[in-house]
Amino acid sequence: MLKDKRILLIIGGGIAAYKTLELIRRLRERGAAVTPVMTGAAAEFVTPMSVSALAGEAVHQALFDLGAEAEMGHIQLSRSADLVVVVPATADLLAKMAHGLANDLASTLLLATDTPVIVAPAMNVRMWEHPATQRNLETLRADGIAFIGPNEGDMACGEYGPGRMSEPMEILAAIEARFSSGPLAGRHAIVTSGPTHEPIDPVRYIANRSSGAQGSAIAAALRDAGASVTFVTGPAAIAPPTGVKVINVETAREMEAAVSRALPADIGVFAAAVADWRVDTAQPQKLKKVKGEIPSLSFVENPDILASVSARGGNRPELVVGFAAETENVVENATQKRARKGCDWIVANDVSPDTGIMGGTDNSVVLISDAAPEYWPRMRKEEVAKRLVERIAKRFGGEKA
């Protein structure tokens, strides 16, 4: 997919710059040509020597470099690539891009380019949340700049929150998605998967038997069809697929927040077996056993993620697909569930213990839409995923313009 593609890699000055070394390796492995550009600050974090050794090309650093200009002028440099990737995109670099400043080589190339640009922001959480940065992001989105991340997590500066740069493999997946020619190329899909764990105390929780196999298979099939996939998964037994953006969550409420943050999307597939209830009285300390006393738990309802996404106004995905795990009257219950939750399709399955479906390798589903129910034969979960994604691709009728 990346063979012979030319990537202009602009490295900004942040601690996350070290991750670009790994990214360059992975890009080269896949046959891409990487032309590196570093800002002055980037060279404080990683050496141009390492970057050029891995890229196999000289690093471009200075705007006024007569030798380099004689070989390839900066305008030509900005336009000779198939894709411009900015990693890490610092608050300063994003601000320059949003305002059209061009006072060094990196910002000049970004202003002069007519090539699609993807940025992977990385900065301290306060800088990310600052109204100035948020204004700049809005401007850049309107200018058609594509974003990867940032992720939420521990930062090198010791704080926690959004602002952490996406991992090299996530950036690679987003770059590959740009060059994919599958029927869902250019589409963003969110997939929920796995069980949720609802804590009783720090060591005990309530869960269900979902393995995450069906959700993982769907995410992989969407990826193979060219979609860029955000995979929001509870603690599942099956590893997430590669080449998708993975967001790990534990509880239903965390899953809901992660899905919300991942919007907008063209497609939402809600395969997670979300716990309907959580323990109202979850304890911060481990419950101690007291002889003769049995603790009683009281429950409250969890948010219904599928229903709330289906009911969204502005950024409801164009196609919302839910699942229905039933143990009796599968079609009737699933049809009611589709109406109640407001989704477009329901993939209904019988999870009675004798079917071996929950936690097993096979699935036997009925697709409920506004047409007549479609009974699919029992098949492997990967096959169900492929067939569902073929249906989704048909629904979208080709690549996004």
Q: Which residue among 133, 180, 302, 363 contacts ligand CTP (CB under 6 A)?
A: 302
User: Min. distance of Cβ 164 from ligand CTP in angstroms?
Assistant: 27
- Binding of residue 176 to ligand CTP (CB under 6 A): no
Q: Which residue among 54, 305, 388, 392 contacts ligand CTP (CB under 6 A)?
A: 305
- Binding of residue 138 to ligand CTP (CB under 6 A): no
Q: Which residue among 244, 325, 367, 389 contacts ligand CTP (CB under 6 A)?
A: 325
Q: Are 360 and 351 in contact (CB under 8 A)?
A: no
User: Which of residues 139 and 352 has its CB atom nearest to ligand CTP in the complex?
Assistant: 352
- Binding of residue 117 to ligand CTP (CB under 6 A): no
Residue 23 burial (10 A CB sphere; 0-12, 13-18, 19+) = buried
DSSP per-residue letters across 185-206: TT-EEEEEESB--EESSSS-EE
Q: Rounded to whole angstroms, how far apart are CA atoms 242 and 221?
A: 11
Q: How far is CA 273 from CA 70, 232, 298, 385, in A?
A: 61, 12, 21, 16
- Binding of residue 306 to ligand CTP (CB under 6 A): yes
User: Min. distance of Cβ 256 from ligand CTP in angstroms?
Assistant: 8
User: Which of residues 116 and 359 has its CB atom nearest to ligand CTP in the complex?
Assistant: 359
Residues 6+ positions from 302 with CB-CB distance below 8 Å:
196, 198, 251, 252, 253, 274, 275, 276, 277, 278
- Binding of residue 324 to ligand CTP (CB under 6 A): yes
Please tell me the count of residues contacting ligand CTP according to CB under 6 A.
Answer: 15
Residue 273 burial (10 A CB sphere; 0-12, 13-18, 19+) = buried
- Binding of residue 304 to ligand CTP (CB under 6 A): yes
- Binding of residue 350 to ligand CTP (CB under 6 A): no
- Binding of residue 276 to ligand CTP (CB under 6 A): yes
Token representation of residue 338 = 């589709």
What are the catalytic residues?
157
Q: What are the backbone dihedrals phi and psi of residue 330, each rounded to the nearest 5 degrees, phi first? A: -55, -55
User: Which of residues 340 and 400 has its CB atom nearest to ligand CTP in the complex?
Assistant: 340
Query: Which amino acid, one-letter code, is at 361?
Result: T
- Binding of residue 190 to ligand CTP (CB under 6 A): no
* Beta pairing partners, 228: 188
Q: Which residue among 272, 366, 389, 392 contacts ligand CTP (CB under 6 A)?
A: 272
Give the three-class secondary structure for 387. helix
List of residues contacting ligand CTP (CB under 6 A): 192, 252, 270, 272, 274, 276, 302, 304-306, 322-325, 337
